[in-house]
Amino acid sequence: MDGDFRTQFVRDPASLKHYPALVLNADYRPLSYYPLSLWPWQEAIKAAYLDRVQIVAEYDHVVRSQRAEFRIPSVVVLKDYVKPQKRVAFTRFNLFLRDEFCCQYCGAKGDLTFDHVIPRARGGVTSWENVVAACS
**Which of 60, 106, 122, 123 is the binder for Zn ion (CB under 5 A)?**
106
* DSSP states of 69-82: EEEEEEEEEESS--
Cα 32 to Cα 66: distance, rounded to the nearest angstrom: 34
Residues 75-104 that bind Zn ion (CB under 5 A): 103
Question: Counting contacts by CB under 5 A, is residue 133 touching Zn ion?
Answer: no
Question: Counting contacts by CB under 5 A, is residue 105 touching Zn ion?
Answer: yes
Q: Which is nearer to Zn ion, 45 or 103 (CB)?
A: 103
Q: Which is nearer to Zn ion, 61 or 116 (CB)?
A: 116
CB-based contact 117:127 (threshold 8 Å):
no
CB of 95 to Zn ion, least distance (A): 15
How far lies 43's CA from each of 25, 40, 53, 134, in Å?
15, 6, 11, 38
Residues lying near Zn ion in the complex (CB under 5 A): 103, 105-106, 108, 135
